Structure 1
């Protein structure tokens, strides 16, 4: 019979919790169908862009060749340089950048402050005014062209940069987007800031606005693309296209009385897509987060 080992107060080491191994995601038929649909949709959207790129590298007489081909007899990279010799294309690009950046900045300022007023502040008639504000979304832009042009004439703003920016700086879309996002932020944060002595403006700039970076990114992308691609309003309110013409107007100059330079127009279209593509890629993380949280917590 073995003698018992005396206990000197040494405690056994606690057992380690079992390490959790990452579980593999089950491949279900529904998941496979979803991936296939995403790939097919990506191909459908990518085919026109690929065809436009290769068409920009073709000679002009091979754009509408029969049977159609993806690649021409030669790759004419000089088409991209010829775009800038065809007309004041640098002026069109510079004007579009100025209008899009300035318009996006003004829309962000107006939409964030108005969305904060409609979503977080309490004042008499707030909901009624917000409904009237949303009614403007149902009015097409084509209906507003004539009264807006008359208003620009009354201000003396025809053929001026402010005429390209300010008429669309007070849109209800941005205000509605920011208001819905602000309403999803917990009110406890705002109340804690008030207890610390912060007023409405300090609360907005220090608490609310930093939490809305994703929503601001979504608004920035949508607004920039809207100003960048605007064609009807600059065509009407601008008289001197060589001075204030924007990129969409510049694309139309490749079509003239004696024919259309389709090769240069395709090259110019590819060039015009580069800034918006860079903006979307740069803000991709915030865009995904903003869109993913759009339906959470009442947003």
Structure 2
């Protein structure tokens, strides 16, 4: 075997290995010298566009009432004014409203995870008479607007004696068709072999659900939790109908008391909305990756 060197390259003859192939560029290598993906050029302006209301809300919360009511409106505060935050946090009822919203939202999230998992697993794995019809009827209720059901719901809550209590806000939100449907779709994507192996070992259906299926369903559970929390926390229409006494107000309902017929303290309204939006943003950012994995694995995309 001989080797001949010509310039910077080496040619090997004989039975030995040939020249090493030229290294191909990595498929994920960025081209044209951009330090980021080209999609960012499109997505960054869109993200900024959607963030403008939040940025304006934050800036307005540190403005004075005179700056907010000024025409044309001021685009930047002359200084950091915390009068709105002092007014909101100094309101004796604000901590109670925050606690009421937290109680209603947490109970709604927990109940939707429990009952949604039970219902979704039953529709995904159990076959019983009329299961498909029952599933279609349940999904059909998602197309009915709340405005058509709020009067019957109010009458039911009145019969139960729950009007003007937090129970009137909790009971209608104990389980939603969307939670059952989303978890059902995710359960269908899981392999049956894991459950069959557990059945052979003597596990009951409930034990299989809670020890095998649910630990594998964290993305779907996170999605249900975030969406339920978002819907319940931001709800204003139903609390406005079912709650009369200010001690039972939620945050959204309590913030309406800062707006009067002749005078509105806009700095307090903006500061209250910043405090109200903050838990929702933290919850969504904390479960963002799980949310995306759930949507891509349940067949809801596209």
Q: TM-score range by the shorter chain?
A: 0.7 to 0.9
User: Any gaps of 5 or more consecutive residues in structure 1?
Assistant: 1-17
Distance 1:294 1:39, change over 3 A: farther
Choose from 271, 281, 300 the match for 1:267.
Answer: 271
How far is 1:64 from its partner? 3.2
Choose from 201, 207, 210 the match for 1:202.
Answer: 207
Q: Is residue 57–residue 274 contact of structure 2 (8 Å, CA) maintained in 1?
A: yes
Choose from 25, 29, 50 the match for 1:25.
Answer: 29
In structure 2, C-alpha distance between the alignment counterparts of 1:119 and 1:42, rounded to whole Å = 37
In structure 1, C-alpha distance between the alignment counterparts of 2:151 and 2:257, rounded to whole Å = 24
Distance 1:66 1:258, change over 3 A: closer
C-alpha distance after superposition, 1:112-131 (max 9, x if no partner): 11000001112121111111
Partner SS state of residue 87, structure 2: helix
2:256 is matched with 252
2:290 is matched with 286
Partner SS state of residue 126, structure 2: coil
In structure 1, C-alpha distance between the alignment counterparts of 2:207 and 2:147, rounded to whole Å = 40
Choose from 229, 234, 244 the match for 2:234.
Answer: 229
Q: Does residue 59 of the first structure (1) align with residue 68 of the second (2)?
A: no
TM-score by length of 2: 0.86
Across the two proteins, how many residue pairs are aligned to each other? Answer: 281
How far is 1:33 from its partner? 5.7
Equivalent positions of 1:1-299 (< 5 A) are 23-27=27-31, 34-86=39-91, 88-241=93-246, 243-295=247-299
How far is 1:132 from its partner? 0.9
Partner SS state of residue 39, structure 2: helix
Partner SS state of residue 259, structure 1: coil
In structure 1, C-alpha distance between the alignment counterparts of 2:108 and 2:23, rounded to whole Å = 54
How far is 1:176 from its partner? 0.6
C-alpha distance after superposition, 1:271-295 (max 9, x if no partner): 1111111112222332232223233
In structure 2, C-alpha distance between the alignment counterparts of 1:20 and 1:219, rounded to whole Å = 44
In structure 1, C-alpha distance between the alignment counterparts of 2:192 and 2:289, rounded to whole Å = 26
In structure 2, C-alpha distance between the alignment counterparts of 1:235 and 1:182, rounded to whole Å = 37
Q: What's the Cα RMSD here?
A: 2.6
